[in-house]
């Protein structure tokens, strides 16, 4: 985790969609459906896919927000949204670089939570996961970021 400075997410020409009641085993299908929806609108992905899990219910079904920069704008509809810009700043930032995603994510989130507690910070966003690729176009690492702000003083 980067403990020396904040990070940000700054994207332009952003396609986005929220999926409801997604199982953990369905995530790859969600990403494929999302990219297909972009391509169906001739809006080719030109950056890294970012997602945030915004809710998990007792049956371990998730609500997932997915976004990606695309080659051109399009009219949003009920299936796929579009924003000119998507920006979040003052974010804690960590990176998962191994194939042990679940264990490494748990350790990273615990480290981020401990850092926030020690520095009087509170999380004001979900954890955003950006799937980064290397020059070969294959998965290389996952950046994990969450927006924070200082807790209000009680005095």
- What is the DSSP secondary-structure string of 79-125? S-EEEEEEEEEEEEEEEE-SS-HHHHHHHHHHHHHHHHHHTTEEE-S
Instruction: Using a pLDDT cut of 70, give the percent of the chain over it.
Output: 94
Query: Between 102 and 138, where is the model more confident?
Result: 102
- The total domain count for the chain is 1
Shortest CA distance to 13 belongs to which of 43, 51, 50?
43
| 155 in any annotated domain | no
63 close to 19: Cβ distance less than 8 angstroms: yes
Q: Which domain holds residue 15?
A: 7-150
Asked whether residue 154 carries a pLDDT value surpassing 80, the answer given is no
CA distance linking residue 52 with residue 145, whole number of Å: 10
What is the model's pTM?
0.89
pLDDT of residue 134: 66
CATH number at residue 142: 3.20.80.10
Is 65 part of any domain?
yes
Q: Token pair of 84, please?
A: 């000119």
Res. 111 pLDDT band, cuts 50 70 90: very high
127 is a domain residue:
yes
Residue 2 falls inside a structural domain: no
Whether the CB-CB separation of 74 and 130 falls below 8 Å is answered with: no
pLDDT at 136: 64
102 belongs to a structural domain: yes
Neighbour count for residue 89 (Cβ, 10 Å): 10
Q: Do 9 and 145 contact (CB within 8 A), yes or no?
A: yes
């Amino acid at each position: 985790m980067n403990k020396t400075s904040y990070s940000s997410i700054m994207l332009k020409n952003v396609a986005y969609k929220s999926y409801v009641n997604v199982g953990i085993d369905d995530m790859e299908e969600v990403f494929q459906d999302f990219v297909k929806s972009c391509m169906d609108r001739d809006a080719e992905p030109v950056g890294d896919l970012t997602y945030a899990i915004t809710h998990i219910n007792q049956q371990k079904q998730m609500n997932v927000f997915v976004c990606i920069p695309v080659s051109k704008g399009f009219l949003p509809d009920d299936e796929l949204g579009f924003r000119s810009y998507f920006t979040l700043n003052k974010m804690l930032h960590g990176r998962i670089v191994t194939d042990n995603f679940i264990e490494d994510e748990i350790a990273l989130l615990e480290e981020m939570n401990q850092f926030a507690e020690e520095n009087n910070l509170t999380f004001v966003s979900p954890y955003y996961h950006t799937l980064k690729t290397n020059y070969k176009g294959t998965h290389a690492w996952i950046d994990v970021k969450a927006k924070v702000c200082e807790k209000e003083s009680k005095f």
